[in-house]
Structures are given as C-alpha cells and as structure tokens.
Structure 1
Amino acid sequence: MSLKAISAKDAASLDKDLMDMGGWSLDQLMELAGLSVSQAVWKVHPPSKGKNVLVVCGPGNNGGDGLVAARHLAQYGYTPSVYYPKEGKNELYQRLKTQLHSLSVPFTTDFASALSSTTFVVDAIFGFSFGGPLRAPFGEIVSQIESSSVPVLSVDAPSSWDIQSGPPKEGPGAKFMPQALISLTAPKPCVQYYRGRHFIGGRFLTKSIADKYGLDCPQYPGIEQVLEIGVDAEGRL
C-alpha cells in the first residue's frame, strides 16, 4: 500500500483545520500521535529485543509526541529514558514531563552515555516544520545518532532532513537513514528518499479533511494505531 504525500505548508494547515473545524485539541492530537509512535516501536523493536529505549526530543510538537510515546513505552514494560536538551515552552510539555516523572522515567543530560547504553532510539527532534540548518546542540546529536549502530525510529521525518528535498548534501544527517520511519497523518515529500520500514500513524484524519487535501484515509486494521505502508511521494506536494 502507498499513500500520497503532503507538503509542510498543507500539513500545518491540516492540523489547524482539525482544531478549528474538527473540534480537536493539540493535547488530543499529540496523544494519538505519541500513541502511534509507541506502537510503531513495539512492531519494529519489541521488548524481547531490548527494553532500553532512548527518546530524543526536540523543543516543538515533534518532541511532545516523543514525550507521549515515552509514557506509553513505560506502560508497555520498556525502560525508556528521555534526552530533552531544549525544552518546549508550552505548558503542555511541562505536564507531559510531570507525567513521566510520575512513572519514574529518567531525563538524562549525558547523551553520549545514554546512546551507548540503549538498545533503540526514537528520533523525535524535528518534524514537518523543520527548515534547517541544524542549530546547536542538535547537529552534534544527529551526528552521534548517525554514526551509532543503534537502530532508530524517526517521527514524521528523519531529523536534519529537509521535508521537501530529503537528506542534506553534507554535514550532520547527510548519511542518516533510520531503520524505521513513522509518518503522522500523511507522508511528507522527503519519503521518496527514504529506504526502510515506513509506517503511517495518527488515527484522526476525517474524510472531509482528507478530501480537502487530496489525501487517502488509511484503512487501519482493527484497533491498530499504525499501518506499515509503502512510499509514494507523488500527488499533493
């Protein structure tokens, strides 16, 4: 199965429509997105492969999705830890942190040590709004993830990639190819450069909004929040 891609501009507009016209709150969208991420982790890296999962969060909504995912992973029986070098200022992120503290999920400040001792990484640094270049400390973080042998799931796009044109020509992220990618709501154009396991998640797309943006409504099986799909970056870009 393949789905059409959506541009960063349309993705932002779609989220606004969901909230303004569809009655969704940012909290709800982030909760379902993070739940999808956690389920994708379970599919590509079940606890039998190693319970230590390092969730690397950026300062925006992509990082918020990572915080939600870390909470669900803790509830599933993983041992997640979070690296959150530049915290988001929205009060929502602080509440997500409180929820993790209540579950005794640690926040680490030593990224290199955490990376060397984990069995899996969730890259929740930057999503569809990223425009580059990488600012400190994220260039070094991406470089370390890129050079590590630890498997990675990226959320919405591999961090450092341009949403339209894919990986940078040089520098941090130029050779970054995570083992798995979960596109939220719809794939972004950069998926045409991606080679790995690709999932769709975010089970909140309505038919009317999908029709407005020329998208397909994924047919999620049963109670699944994620669906493994192919890649088709043709269509609405």
Structure 2
Amino acid sequence: MELAGLSVAQAITRVYDNSKYPRALICCGPGNNGGDDSSFNDNDLIVDAIFGFSFSGEVRQPFGQVIQRLKGTNLPIVSVDIPSAWDVEKGNIDNRGFTPSMLVSLTAPKLCAKHFNGKHFLGGRFVPPELERKYELNLPSYPGSDQVVDITNAPNEKL
C-alpha cells in the first residue's frame, strides 16, 4: 500500500504544483467527513479514493452525498484506480459518477479507463515480468526509479 500511495503522490506532483495546490482533501473509506461543506471549500485539490476496482452496485449513503459533492465541485479531482461510482468495465454508467481531471491507475489500467479522457498515469511497479507476460498486460516501462509513468497519450489498445 505504501508504494501505491507513493505512486499517487508522485503523479499528483507531476501535474499539480504544490505551491499552487498546497491543500488536498483525501476522500477515502467509510465516514462522511468528505461531504462537509468546509472540507471541500478549504482545499485546492481533491483525491478520490472512496471506492476501488471491486466496487459494484448502487452507491450507499453517506457516499452518495460525497459523490454528489464531487460532481458539483470546480476543484480538480484525482481519482485512484477508478473514479468512484464508475463501473470498472463500462465507466460512468448513467452519469451516476463524476469525471475527474486526472486518473492514477494502479498495477494496470482497468477497462473503464478507455472512457476517461483526462491526464492518466499508471502507478506502481507491482507486477513481476512473468505475470505481465502471462496475462499480456503490455505495461509501459517506468523511467529510472519512478513509481509512475504518464500514459495519457498511450493508445487504448496497447494498455
């Protein structure tokens, strides 16, 4: 998990200068602190880590409130792995979710990433080469010791 967090942090700092976006709200896990008005208004950037790739079904409360707030904000949103409330394969079905400004896919892009048009990074060097070959993941090379690679302009059929 530490490497996943490092990947997300590195991707964010590549796009959002800390001097211009010094305050971030991290929306994750259970609880409704992310839905509080002051939580949204006192920040410069939102990191969406509410649901992961195993999310399915309807959004339950209090998360529905948070998703609605995310849909209505003008702040940049960075989603981790998949945007919360998106279907992992089909994307933002019936517009029930929001569209983040940036996506950080972990391990490998999920199918829903084909429906995302913003800045896109792949995070983490989690997959051993043998598994990458076995499952034909076609993962890009990571430069140097970086934990992220920008895949914004990578062709969808390659990922």
Is residue 33–residue 201 contact of structure 1 (8 Å, CA) maintained in 2?
Answer: yes
Cα distance in structure 2, aligned partners of 1:120 and 1:109: 12
Is residue 220–residue 227 contact of structure 1 (8 Å, CA) maintained in 2?
Answer: yes
User: Equivalent of 1:160, from 85, 106, 109?
Assistant: 85
Q: Does 1:133 align with 2:55?
A: no
Cα distance in structure 2, aligned partners of 1:109 and 1:191: 24
Higher relative contact order (CA closer than 8 Å, sequence separation 6+): 1
Q: How does 1:25-174 map to 2 (within 5 A)?
A: 30-59=1-30, 85=31, 111-170=36-95, 172-173=96-97
Aligned match of 1:228: 150
Which secondary structure state, in structure 2, belongs to the residue aligned with residue 122 of structure 1?
strand
Is residue 27–residue 34 contact of structure 2 (8 Å, CA) maintained in 1?
Answer: no
Which secondary structure state, in structure 2, belongs to the residue aligned with residue 47 of structure 1?
coil
Give the TM-score normalised by the residue count of structure 1: 0.62
Is residue 138–residue 158 contact of structure 2 (8 Å, CA) maintained in 1?
Answer: no
Structure with the largest fraction of helix? 1
The verdict on how the C-alpha distance between 1:185 and 1:222 changes in structure 2, with shifts beyond 3 A counting, is: same
Cα distance in structure 2, aligned partners of 1:212 and 1:137: 40
Is residue 192–residue 232 contact of structure 1 (8 Å, CA) maintained in 2?
Answer: no
User: Which 5+ residue runs of structure 1 have no aligned equivalent?
Assistant: 1-29, 60-84, 87-107
Q: 1:58 offset after TM fit, Å?
A: 2.0
Q: 1:218 offset after TM fit, Å?
A: 2.5
Cα distance in structure 2, aligned partners of 1:38 and 1:196: 17
Aligned match of 2:123: 201
Q: 1:192 offset after TM fit, Å?
A: 1.2
Which secondary structure state, in structure 1, belongs to the residue aligned with residue 150 of structure 2?
strand
The verdict on how the C-alpha distance between 1:231 and 1:193 changes in structure 2, with shifts beyond 3 A counting, is: farther
Is residue 207–residue 217 contact of structure 1 (8 Å, CA) maintained in 2?
Answer: no
TM-align CA RMSD:
1.9
Q: How does 1:8-19 map to 2 (within 5 A)?
A: none
Which secondary structure state, in structure 2, belongs to the residue aligned with residue 190 of structure 1?
helix
Moved over 6 A (4+): none
* Percent identity for Structure 1 against Structure 2: 44
Aligned match of 2:113: 191
Is residue 130–residue 162 contact of structure 1 (8 Å, CA) maintained in 2?
Answer: yes
User: Equivalent of 2:104, from 171, 182, 189?
Assistant: 182
User: Which 5+ residue runs of structure 2 have no aligned equivalent?
Assistant: none
- Greater mean alpha carbon deviation, residues 36-45 or residues 148-157: 36-45
Cα distance in structure 1, aligned partners of 2:55 and 2:35: 25
Aligned match of 1:102: none
Cα distance in structure 1, aligned partners of 2:108 and 2:157: 12
Letter in 2 for 1:148: T
- Structure showing greater radius of gyration is 1
Cα distance in structure 2, aligned partners of 1:133 and 1:231: 31
